Structure 1
């Protein structure tokens, strides 16, 4: 199953609807309205942007995020949504290949992986390099990571 299909399936399971609209604030391409179980996306977005924004807003729906009057809370929700989206839209093998080709250039990697740069940057935040090994989503304790790869 493709990442895009998984995201749509998750939204269906949550009972979240998607609307394509033209009246979003200029600084937004999408938003999640929790009390209406609704994702609003800017109509006419390019594919890379559309799938990135949809995955990001899906994360807000999964975590039942609502805007807060506290800036740090909003910032944490935004980081978490980008990282969740990145882990759903990017396969590690594809990221590693694109990173090697483009020498770590986030914009070029994003283009190859059909996402926006902020999703690549979020994916990079969940990586931990220790010596010659890269860990995806490392946790405390032996053997606790999503993926491990030797890069030397």
Structure 2
């Protein structure tokens, strides 16, 4: 099952999703010239939702694999970060991080995503003093979410 908001994005882009046998090292792939996401059948729920969101991100950005390794690495990071912003709620993350004292695998289980998605979410957190920004960019007011902790 693909999360509703991810499915809506896939549908809005006019991308088809099929389940097919893939090379052993792949759980999913996006093929831009076909507007197609292929997913490995039979994945467990948290892997399935993480891979579906990741491949949806490739569709959003119209990613095409390159022979240039750094470009591919950038596309993969961006896809994981996009997926993380859509699969992880900041309040759920804060609770899971507190409960599991920062243990990535345990947080991933708690949030029903893969560890890669949790690590991507952690990469986009920027902490300044008592404030944490999610998806901060250069410029005033440029962030996905801002969370301030009370220090009494």
TM tier relative to shorter chain: over 0.9
* Residues 15-57 of structure 1: CA deviation (Å, up to 9, x unaligned): 11111112x1111100001111110001100000000000000
How far residue 133 of structure 1 moved from its aligned partner, in angstroms, is 1.5
1:109-128 equivalences under 5 Å are: 109-128=107-126
CA distance in 2, matches of 1:8, 1:107: 26
CA distance in 1, matches of 2:27, 2:20: 10
- Structure 1 position 55 matched with structure 2 position 53: yes
CA distance in 2, matches of 1:131, 1:14: 40
Could you tell me which of 98, 103, 107 is aligned with 1:105? 103
Q: Which segment is superposed worse, 75-84 or 4-13?
A: 4-13
CA distance in 2, matches of 1:21, 1:99: 35
| 3-state SS in 1 of match to 2:38 | strand
Q: Which runs of 4+ in 1 moved over 3 A?
A: none
TM-score of the two chains, using structure 1 as the length reference? 0.94
- Find the counterpart in structure 2 of residue 14 from structure 1: 13
* Residues 105-137 of structure 1: CA deviation (Å, up to 9, x unaligned): 111110011000000000000000112221111
Number of residue equivalences: 149
Could you tell me which of 41, 44, 63 is aligned with 1:43? 41
TM-score of the two chains, using structure 2 as the length reference? 0.94
How far residue 79 of structure 1 moved from its aligned partner, in angstroms, is 0.2
In structure 1, runs of 5+ residues without a counterpart are none
In structure 2, runs of 5+ residues without a counterpart are none
How far residue 145 of structure 1 moved from its aligned partner, in angstroms, is 1.8
CA distance in 2, matches of 1:38, 1:146: 28
CA distance in 2, matches of 1:114, 1:147: 21
